[in-house]
Amino acid sequence: MYDVIIIGGGPAGASAAVYTARGHLSTLVLDKAPNAGALALTHKIANYPGIAEELSGKELLERIREQAIGFGAEFKHTTITAVDLEGDTKYVFTADGMLESKAVIIATGSKGRNRMLPGEEKLLGRGVSTCSTCDGAFYAGKEIAVIGDSEEALDEVLALSRIVSKIHFIIPRPELQGVAALPALDNTEVYFRTRPLEITGDQQVEGLRIKPNAGDEQLLNVDGVFVFLSGSKPGTDFLDGQVPLDGEGFMVLDEFMQSTVSGVFGAGEVRRSPVKQAVVAAADGAIAAMAVDKFIHRREHLIPQYK
């Protein structure tokens, strides 16, 4: 019987483990793909607070995990097959057997689109990005492409336009979802009804092949491709209706990352958040961990770990 089982070992789950283990709660982190999450695949990070040098997402995640292990947390690479979260004892069924805990933190992140562009997965973190805040500064003065079909994509274009020299804004649909009209876009060429075909390059992005609805294929010579296509959903399917979710599959959580199911918490991209950043996920994990500590010890208030 563990005090807490954390499902997901990304920045939210690993950071939660730092806090629960340091708070002397027996902690087990279950992760089916330790090196396949969004942070682990990020090639270069330069804006994580307190880390001045550039490092990969995998290196940052390994540091957080090592810190959690140093405090006594256990990490296990396994696949979740089912959960039973409705009673006082939480049961997590894995490919390796059944596990029990007093509390559970869901930190499974989000699932990508069902179909990626040719070259997208290979060059993710090497010129392909899904976060302008994370990677935009690396393309200062360069030419890039943004692929998107929503208001989120437009927001990212507006942010990137202040950094790069030129943007090719590729919109597969006749219009952007949730956007009545495009504002004036400096240094941005817009392509409606245009399909992205392939991101080209060997070790780094070298170009993007596109096909307008009425026209021939083109090859855009760009240094980076930012992808903001609809389809990323929280990885909460395995909860099987045991925890309240909103219409898009996000966990319904209070300010302490707690669901309405006693002893069940969430952190990171399983909750609805306007900003998707590793540091935000880590903060979620810390809050959830301190809420778990409060829950297990039946305290009235959270006790922050300042020392």
Per-residue CA distances from 279 to 34, 42, 174, 243 (Å): 18, 14, 35, 25
Q: Are both 37 and 171 inside the same structural domain?
A: no
Instruction: Assess whether pLDDT exceeds 80 at residue 36.
Output: no
User: Is the Cβ–Cβ distance between 155 and 136 less than 8 Å?
Assistant: no
Picking from 173, 194, 228, the residue at the C-terminal end of a domain is 228
Q: Are both 202 and 282 inside the same structural domain?
A: no
Q: Which two tokens stand for residue 270?
A: 């399983």
Q: Percentage of the chain with pLDDT > 70?
A: 94
Instruction: Assess whether pLDDT exceeds 60 at residue 307.
Output: no
- pLDDT of 193 reads 95
Q: Are both 260 and 216 inside the same structural domain?
A: no
Rounded distance, CA 243 to CA 221, Å? 47
**Does some domain include residue 123?**
no
CB atoms within 10 A of CB 115: 9
Q: Domain containing 71: what range?
A: 2-112+232-296
- pLDDT of 277 reads 84
**Would you call 293 a catalytic residue per the annotation?**
no
3-state secondary structure of 20: helix
- pLDDT of 113 reads 65
Catalytic hit among 3, 134, 284, 293? 134
255 compared with 51, residue with greater pLDDT: 255
**Would you call 135 a catalytic residue per the annotation?**
yes
**Does some domain include residue 94?**
yes
Q: Are both 157 and 249 inside the same structural domain?
A: no
CATH number of the CATH domain containing 165: 3.50.50.60
| Residue 86 exposed, middle or buried by CB count within 10 Å (0-12, 13-18, 19+) | middle
- pLDDT of 47 reads 82
**Does some domain include residue 302?**
no
Which of 145-154, 177-186, 211-220 has the highest average model confidence (pLDDT)? 211-220
183 compared with 2, residue with greater pLDDT: 2
**Does some domain include residue 209?**
yes
- pLDDT of 231 reads 64
Picking from 193, 228, 263, the residue at the C-terminal end of a domain is 228
Q: Indicate the average pLDDT of the chain.
A: 90
pLDDT, tens digit, for every residue of 170-209?
999 898 877 878 888 889 999 999 999 999 999 999 999 9
**Does some domain include residue 246?**
yes
Per-residue CA distances from 169 to 187, 208, 295 (Å): 10, 12, 48
Instruction: Assess whether pLDDT exceeds 70 at residue 287.
Output: yes
**Does some domain include residue 47?**
yes
- pLDDT of 112 reads 64
H or E segment at 17?
helix 11-22
Catalytic hit among 3, 31, 135, 223? 135
The one-letter code for the residue type at 145 is A
> What confidence tier does 41 reach under pLDDT thresholds 50, 70, 90?
low
pTM of the model: 0.72
3-state secondary structure of 153: helix
Name the H helices within 88-223: 132-135, 151-160
For 134, residues 6+ apart whose C-beta sits below 8 A from its C-beta are 42, 45, 47, 277, 278
pLDDT, tens digit, for every residue of 103-113?
999 999 886 66
| Nearest Cα residue to 3 out of 243, 295, 238 | 295
- pLDDT of 34 reads 72
Residue 208, beta-bridge partner list: 199, 220
Which range is least confidently modeled, 83-87, 92-96, 161-165, 286-290?
92-96
Can you tell me the mean pLDDT for 254-275? 93
Q: Supply the DSSP symbol for 268.
A: G
Instruction: Assess whether pLDDT exceeds 90 at residue 66.
Output: yes
Picking from 188, 211, 228, the residue at the C-terminal end of a domain is 228
- pLDDT of 282 reads 95
> Which bin fits 215, alpha (ψ -120 to 50), beta or left (φ > 0)?
left
CB atoms within 10 A of CB 260: 10
The count of domains in the chain is 2
pLDDT, tens digit, for every residue of 130-144?
878 778 889 999 999
User: Is the Cβ–Cβ distance between 48 and 66 less than 8 Å?
Assistant: no
**Would you call 31 a catalytic residue per the annotation?**
no
Catalytic hit among 31, 84, 88, 131? 131
Rounded distance, CA 147 to CA 222, Å? 13
Rounded distance, CA 164 to CA 179, Å? 23
Q: Which two tokens stand for residue 159?
A: 């942010």
